[in-house]
A and B are shown apart, each in its own frame.
Chain A
Amino acid sequence: MSSAKTGTPVYHIEADALHPPIDAESKLPTVCLTGAPNAGKTALMNALTGGSFRTANYPGVTVTLSRGKSKVEFGRQALFVDLPGVHSTSASSPEEELSCQVIEGRHISVKPDALVIAVDATQLERHLRFASFVARQRKPTVIALTMMDLLPRIQRTINVRKLELAIGLRVVPVDGRTGWGAAELITAVNEVLAFPVTQKDALAELPEDPVAAYQEIRELLDNSEAIKNENLFVLANDSFTARIDRIVLHRFLGFPIFFAVLVGLFSSIFWAARPFMDLIDWLFSRTISALLTFLPESVLSRFMAEGVIGGVGAVSVFFPQIVILFFLMTILEDSGYLARGAALVDRPLSYLGLHGRSFVPMLSGFACAIPAVLAARTIPSRRERLLTIWILPLMSCSARLPVYALLLGALLPGSAWSAGLALGVIYVSSLLVGALVAGLISRFVLHRTAASLLAMEMPVYRKPLLKPMFRMTWSRSSSYLRRAGTPIIIISACLWLLSNFGFGWRQERPAEAVRPSLVSVSDLDHSFAAQLGQTLEPALHPMGIDWRVGVGLISAFAAREVFVSTMAIVFHVGGDQESQQDGLLENMRAATFSGTNQKIFTTSTILGLIVFFFFSLQCLSTVSVVRSETNSWRLAALQLLFYTGIGYLLASALVVSLRLFGVN
């Protein structure tokens, strides 16, 4: 897999946690990286493989199994698999269960030949206790001692040789963030693989009971004299973290700082991404028009240009926003602030039946529900995890933004600031409605169970390093593209076919006119989509819209922003690309129900559409991700019906009641 020219190998295979692919041809030994959460496994993985994986200073970020081969220059290669962090061997979250399965050799496809345990040098006792669980499996095991750079902060030195003798396992100090010690680690792994040692393994003989185990670990460490100058009490020594915590968790300043961080995050998502989004939009519309001009006029070329490339464009337009979101989240995670944010909001969230850790998925949900649903895996209790996933579609994701922009442009023509204000109201109310739904469901629908444990580690503050941060941003963004892009492109291609084909009657041969056949229809009015829309028209009546807008609503199930491009198609906007938005607004304002002069887009129907988009789960990619994450079609389908139903009912109720009060 290495490129011969540059000598920089690229190994990066990311797989679904439950179904990792098996390298059939690979005869390399499988080495699993394990450890307690936040021990620096993922950074170590990065250093070992040179690949790009998720690394973050937030407990429990490894939500998928990533695997990759070690770099060639480190010696004999091995296939490394990064396992999710384990807090407690009495596993409670699906991630921990998965890790325990692999370590105990119960997993179907991942069978480790050797194990590397990442042990945080500043928290030896706790991490060695987890290591004893791993050592009990009697597999070739090496301990990677991480966070060595933090030892001076707590005025501690560790004698690695003495530690090795005391615990009976190979110990290699490493720094995953800079790659220091990675080569030595690989050498050690190869040594234990070649000569499975039979020396006395003190760790494996530790008792399982936590109280006794901790006692023995302390005795082991004390007797070995491996640790020098350890203060019994380290909190005063890491005054750096304590000082920052005093400010960001201050009684009065804490929440203002938190909100300032959030506002900064969101405003930069929207302002910084804007020029890139415009550029991508322009590039794709240029490509489409160029393709249509240069390719011979045929159904296939139109399908390629409008259906496929248009679909790709619809996904990529949001890419800058996603990249910026992931980059900023990475900074927050790596520095350690994200865990503080989660602690800050734990109380209000637990009141709603959620968990402090629900905060990260909800935050991501404002960019896209798909990474948000994936991030919900870190929530330990099933009840809180499902409830978080349940309310995520309400968070106003960025795909809704172009729809709101169009609708608000039609509702409030010519006043940018009032449209901006309205947008702000929509965003805040999406959070409030999410809170309301969560509170109602946890109170009245779900079984009342005891609240789960918070017990969340607050990592020390560290300066994020640029290179790993860029690598991680890229790996998360590209995995988003793969995960969200494929369904969007397929669905938009299907919708293109539906809106461009229909049962027509061939005019040139009247004898066969009675037999309908599949033809390409230039006119949308006779397409499958139109027929579907016309069938649905009675249902659309309460919302005050006609079948053309209905087609837009259906097409929005590919991705919500497709509504805008569908509106452009059904209201026949063409020609000059630059003024597409203005042309569309003009045509929308002029649009009437066919055969009458009753306007379609009035104040009440636009408000109704906004309410519909606010609630409705018009995103089949989200449905598919929810299904795979919860392993339940029923839940995903129920969520789809629930939100789309509520959206439809509320929109209809709003339109009907507004009309009752004379607002047209």
Chain B
Amino acid sequence: MLYGYSCPVGQIEFHFHLGLLTRGNMSLVDALHNRPYRVKGIEGPDDERRRLLDLGITPGEVLAVVQSVPLGDPLVVMVRGMRLALRRREAEWIRLQ
């Protein structure tokens, strides 16, 4: 984890990102802009999941939301040197550490 840490307290794991308490299971939609995050895993239907992995969004990879589009829907994500427009639905599948 680059900018945060997590600490287990009893059964619950608390996640701190940039000093903020975040949800334990955070997706790309919740990510702050222009901050690097590490991918934990990808959910979603098999075909779409495979395609996101093919694009280089693999567990352990670092990515960041660099821009959101006026209607707030496609998020522009920087990953492996590429700017990628992802719909919120797709960003939801990308879980972050």
A458: CB under 8 A from chain B? Answer: yes
Contact digits for A112-153, partner B, Cβ 8 Å, 1 yes 0 no = 000000000011111001000000000000000000000000
Residue pair A154, B81 in contact (C-beta under 8 Å): yes
A302-310, A343-351, A365-373: which one contacts chain B? A343-351
Q: Among the listed A92, A154, A450, A458, which residue makes an inter-chain contact with B45, where contact means beta carbons less than 8 Å apart?
A: A450
Please provide the chain A residues from 201 to 260 with a CB less than 8 Å away from any CB of chain B in the complex: 210-211, 214-215, 232-235, 241-242, 245-246, 249-252, 254-255
In the complex, chain B residues whose CB is within 8 Å of the CB of A254: 69-70
Cβ contact of A88, chosen from B50, B61, B68, cutoff 8 A: B50
Q: Are B76 and A251 in contact (CB under 8 A)?
A: no
Tell me the smallest distance from the CB of B43 to a CB of chain A, in Å: 14
Contacting pair B82 A123 (CB below 8 A): yes
CB of A90 within 8 A of CB of B47, answer yes
Q: Is the CB of B90 within 8 A of A454?
A: yes
Q: Contact: B76 with A343, CB < 8 Å? A: yes
Please tell me which one of the listed residues A241, A250, A346, A455 contacts residue B84 in the complex, with CB atoms under 8 A apart: A455
Bound complex: CA A126 to CA B55 (Å): 7
Minimal Cβ-Cβ distance residue in B for A38: B82
* In the complex, A512 has a CB within 8 A of chain B: no
B contacts with A, residue count (CB < 8 A): 39
A89 contacts partner chain B, Cβ-Cβ < 8 Å = yes
A235 to B61, CA, bound (A): 15
A210:B53 contact, CB within 8 angstroms: yes
| Chain A min CB distance to B17 (Å) | 16
Which residue in B34, B51, B60, B64 is a CB contact (below 8 Å) of A455? B51
The B-contacting residues of A in range 503-519, CB under 8 angstroms, are: none
Of the residues B36, B58, B73, B90, contact of A233 by C-beta under 8 Å: B36
Could you say which residues of chain A place their CB within 8 Å of the CB of B80? 123, 125-126
State whether A234 and B87 are in contact (beta carbons under 8 Å apart), knowing that A249-B70, A343-B69 are contacts in the complex: no
A232 to B61 CA separation, bound complex (whole angstroms): 11
Residue of A nearest to B64 (CB): A235
B73 engages A88 (CB within 8 Å): no
Considering only residues 50-85 of chain B, those with a C-beta below 8 Å from chain A are 50-56, 58-62, 64, 66-74, 76, 78, 80-85
Q: A129-B56, A233-B62, A455-B52 are in contact. Are A347 and B73 (CB under 8 A)?
A: yes
Q: Please give, as numbers and ranges, the residues of chain A lying within 8 Å of B58 by CB-CB distance.
A: 210-211, 214-215
A455 touches B90 (CB 8 A): yes
Interface residues of A in 408-460 (CB under 8 A from B): 450-451, 453-460
A89 to B53, CA, bound (A): 11
Closest chain A residue, CB of each to CB of B45: A450
How many Å lie between the Cα of A451 and that of B44 in the bound state? 12
Flag if A457 contacts B50 (CB, 8 Å): no
B residues lining the A interface (CB < 8 Å): 34, 36, 45, 47-48, 50-56, 58-62, 64, 66-74, 76, 78, 80-87, 89-90
Q: List 29 A-B contacts (CB under 8 A).
A: A87-B55, A88-B55, A89-B54, A90-B50, A123-B80, A125-B80, A125-B81, A126-B80, A129-B56, A214-B61, A233-B78, A234-B78, A234-B81, A235-B34, A235-B78, A245-B67, A246-B67, A249-B69, A255-B70, A343-B69, A346-B73, A346-B85, A347-B69, A356-B85, A453-B51, A453-B52, A453-B90, A455-B51, A456-B74
